[in-house]
């Protein structure tokens, strides 16, 4: 059965058919202006948010319309706003669970949530406002991101006693790693020859000049048990997905953003499906129009 294309899909097709339009829409000033206009109706006070975006400086704290009591911190003039839009201001939130997952998670009662790649707390805040959360641990090794993550936890009364920030990376063993910092949501474990400015929207020289620090890396399989596991760690997901211990992991559902970066095969999407299936997770939803470099999929263990 064919499905009528959504407005977003039609817009993407129009951009692909008009290279000049696509180039204009990818220009940083216009991209930021469009993101700000899209986010403003979802944030309070909207006027202060727009003024902050116009200046392109500082961090603002805002309430989220439709999420009583929720408070978020956003870095003005940064990609934080685009990610906020993907999670809170899209027609379908990028982390909205498909019906089968939603039903399975609701049946579990209050959830234990693991958030790998906590960034500034946007997924964690979505989880708190979307599900009944018993406990949540967000792992974020970038110091600047982790500081905003902790600020967001402190600003939300709903998080008290439930949400914890852990300033560390996660993989399939305890170790340390060289970590590229200061790249906002693209901060990640360093790897030689990995510059993909077209994909990330960050200039290539930002990657080349990104400072690095040594960070602790924790073995996922030694961390507290969770019911829902979110993984968005910029290519560091592959050792976790390939580890045979994933088949015994207690998470009933996994929401994964896979990346071409560090993937051992030419088809990261297919490999992500294969590894989740091998671990006992049926892949029951994939984001529409995924790019060849990254995409979101949900896995559910029946």
DSSP assignment of 158-221: GGTTTEEEE-SEEESS-EEEEEE-SSGGG-EE--TT---HHHHSS-HHHHHH--EEEEEEEEGG
Residues in the chain: 302
200, 261 Cβ separation under 8 angstroms: no
Indicate if the pLDDT at residue 14 is higher than 60. Answer: no
**pTM (2 decimals)?**
0.87
Which of residues 151 and 20 earns the better pLDDT score? 151
Which of residues 5 and 215 earns the better pLDDT score? 215
Q: pLDDT tens across 261-301, in order?
A: 999 999 999 999 999 999 999 988 887 666 889 999 999 99
**Nearest Cα to 135, choosing from 104, 107, 103, 166?**
166
Share of the chain above pLDDT 70, in %: 85
Radius of gyration over alpha carbons of the chain, in Å? 19
Residue 212, pLDDT score: 94
Residue 92, pLDDT score: 84
Q: pLDDT tens across 147-163, in order?
A: 999 999 999 999 999 99
The H or E element spanning position 298 is strand 294-300
Which of residues 66 and 116 earns the better pLDDT score? 116
**Tally of CB atoms within 10 A around 76:** 20
Share of the chain above pLDDT 90, in %: 76
User: Structural domains in the chain?
Assistant: 1-91 (no CATH), 92-300 (3.40.50.150)
Residue range 67-89: average pLDDT? 95
Residue range 54-64: average pLDDT? 97
56, 79 Cβ separation under 8 angstroms: no
């Amino acid at each position: 059965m064919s499905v009528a294309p959504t407005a977003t899909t039609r817009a993407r097709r129009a951009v692909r058919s008009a290279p000049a339009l696509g180039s204009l829409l990818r220009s940083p000033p216009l991209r930021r202006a469009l993101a700000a206009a899209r986010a403003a109706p979802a944030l309070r006070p909207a006027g202060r948010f727009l003024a902050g975006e116009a200046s392109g400086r500082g961090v603002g704290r805002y309430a989220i319309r439709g999420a009583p009591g929720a408070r978020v911190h956003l870095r003005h003039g940064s990609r934080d706003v685009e990610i906020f839009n993907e999670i809170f201001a899209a027609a379908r939130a990028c982390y909205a669970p498909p019906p089968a997952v939603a039903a399975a998670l609701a049946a579990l009662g209050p959830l234990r949530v693991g958030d790998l790649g906590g960034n500034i707390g946007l997924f964690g805040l979505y989880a708190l406002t979307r599900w009944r959360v018993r406990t949540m641990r967000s792992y974020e090794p970038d110091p600047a991101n982790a500081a905003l993550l902790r600020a967001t936890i402190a600003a939300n009364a709903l998080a008290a006693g439930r949400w914890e920030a852990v300033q560390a990376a996660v993989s399939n063993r305890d170790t340390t790693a060289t970590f590229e910092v200061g790249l906002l949501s693209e901060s990640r474990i360093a790897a030689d020859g990995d510059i993909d400015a077209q994909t990330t929207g960050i200039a290539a020289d930002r990657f080349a000049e990104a400072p690095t620090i040594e960070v602790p890396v924790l073995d996922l399989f030694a961390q507290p048990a969770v019911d829902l596991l979110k993984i968005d760690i910029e290519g560091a997901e592959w050792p976790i997905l390939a580890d045979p211990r994933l088949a015994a992991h207690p998470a009933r559902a996994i929401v994964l953003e896979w990346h071409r970066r560090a993937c051992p095969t030419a088809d990261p999407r297919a490999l992500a499906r294969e590894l989740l299936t091998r671990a006992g997770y049926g892949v029951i939803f994939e984001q529409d129009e995924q790019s060849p470099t990254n995409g979101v999929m949900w896995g559910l263990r029946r």
